[in-house]
């Protein structure tokens, strides 16, 4: 039963999701791609923030960097090289940001991570306006929506598999201890900066790759599109809804919230930010530890 739940069920679900585009309409494929993107983003975000409890609002800084890298390089390098370059840029940026900020704790880290996204957006805008003389860029790649979806599905699967692997390693235990009490972690022999940096770089590289993979869908990109802060907020709330410190929690939160977001933004275009805000508040108040933890608590109460 355990082997079935751990390996067979996820692999069967992955196979089903892989063949889904063959039977889906263009609209349904768009939804599937959106879901796969946010499952990847929320799972990658949780890889670092889920256990350490460092709430990062820098998701869009890396996501946008990935998208912009493709926009800049798509005509000069082969696509696999463009993706590899995006991943390297994301990792390098995360390394620099992590080294300078992971000593910050609590609200200071949240504010810095939000500021980072705004800073990168403004820097790119300034560069494009003052140096290249044009704000937007076009992405012409010979990729179908199916190609993009399969890449994103693969990245999402790799992210969840990597998280599962880390959970069972020293790194996973170290992240959990850091989240509970950094002082105890340090006095138990855990190199705080190294552990946090490894997790932050891994998560940020995946998020950058997600931005790079998703970018051909836009065709035209500019900083205000790819550095939209809503991406960061949605990612956080999706991970929290499902349970950020559980393997499947972020995915569980991402699916319904993405569908609700799509419905609200198309049917209530003027009021959806208000409704979304209320939804965020509701999640934090009613399910502070996520749906999976809530279900577990209910089970324990019934047993008691």
Q: Which residues of this chain interact with another protein, rule CB under 8 A?
A: 170, 173-174, 176-177, 180-181, 183-192
- The three-class DSSP label of residue 170 is helix
Indicate the SS3 state at residue 23.
coil
With tokens 């800049």, the residue in question is 72
> Which is nearest to 63 in space by CA: 45, 82, 84, 50?
45
Looking at the Cβ atoms of 18 and 176, the one nearer to another protein is 176
Q: How far is the CB of 103 from another protein (least distance, A)?
A: 12
User: Which CB, 235 or 245, lies closer to another protein?
Assistant: 245
Helix (H) or strand (E) holding 162: helix 145-167
Exposed/middle/buried for residue 132 (C-beta within 10 Å: 0-12, 13-18, 19+): exposed
Nearest distance, CB of residue 93 and another protein, angstroms: 26
Give exposure, 159-176, as e/b (b: 16+ Cβ within 10 Å).
bbebbeebbeeebbbbbe
Smaller CB distance to another protein: residue 122 or 180? Answer: 180
Query: Between 191 and 299, whose beta carbon lies closer to another protein?
Result: 191
Least distance in angstroms from the C-beta of 106 to another protein: 18
Q: What is the spatial distance between Cα 279 and Cα 276, in angstroms, rounded to a whole number?
A: 5
Residue with Cβ nearer another protein (46 or 71): 46
Q: Which is nearer to another protein, 110 or 192 (CB)?
A: 192
For the beta carbon of residue 154, count every other beta carbon within 10 angstroms. Answer: 15
CB of 18 to another protein, least distance (A): 34
């Amino acid at each position: 039963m355990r082997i079935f739940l751990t390996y067979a069920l996820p692999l069967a679900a992955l196979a089903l999701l892989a063949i889904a585009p063959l039977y889906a309409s263009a609209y349904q494929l768009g939804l599937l791609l959106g879901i796969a993107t946010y499952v990847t983003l929320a799972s990658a975000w949780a890889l670092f923030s889920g256990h350490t409890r460092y709430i990062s609002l820098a998701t869009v800084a890396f996501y946008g960097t990935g998208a912009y890298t493709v926009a800049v390089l798509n005509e000069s390098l082969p696509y696999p090289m463009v993706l590899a370059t995006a991943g390297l840029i994301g990792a390098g940026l995360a390394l620099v940001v992590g080294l300078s900020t992971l000593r910050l704790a609590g609200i200071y880290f949240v504010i810095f991570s939000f500021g980072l996204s705004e800073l990168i957006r403004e820097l790119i805008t300034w560069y494009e306006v003052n140096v290249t003389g044009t704000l937007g860029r076009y992405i012409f790649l010979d990729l179908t929506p199916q190609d993009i979806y399969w890449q994103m599905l693969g990245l999402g699967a790799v992210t969840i598999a990597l998280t599962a692997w880390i959970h069972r390693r020293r790194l996973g235990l170290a992240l959990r201890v850091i989240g509970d009490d950094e002082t105890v972690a340090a006095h138990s022999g855990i190199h705080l900066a190294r552990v946090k940096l490894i997790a932050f770089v891994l998560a940020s590289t995946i998020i950058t790759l997600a931005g790079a993979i998703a970018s051909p869908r836009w065709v035209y990109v500019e900083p205000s599109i790819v550095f939209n802060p809503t991406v960061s907020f949605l990612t956080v709330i999706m991970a929290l809804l499902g349970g950020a410190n559980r393997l499947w929690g972020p995915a569980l939160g991402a699916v319904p919230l993405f569908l609700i977001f799509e419905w609200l933004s198309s049917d209530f275009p003027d009021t959806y930010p208000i409704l979304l805000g209320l939804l965020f508040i509701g999640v934090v108040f009613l399910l502070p530890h996520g749906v999976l933890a809530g279900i577990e608590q209910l089970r324990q109460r019934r047993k008691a």
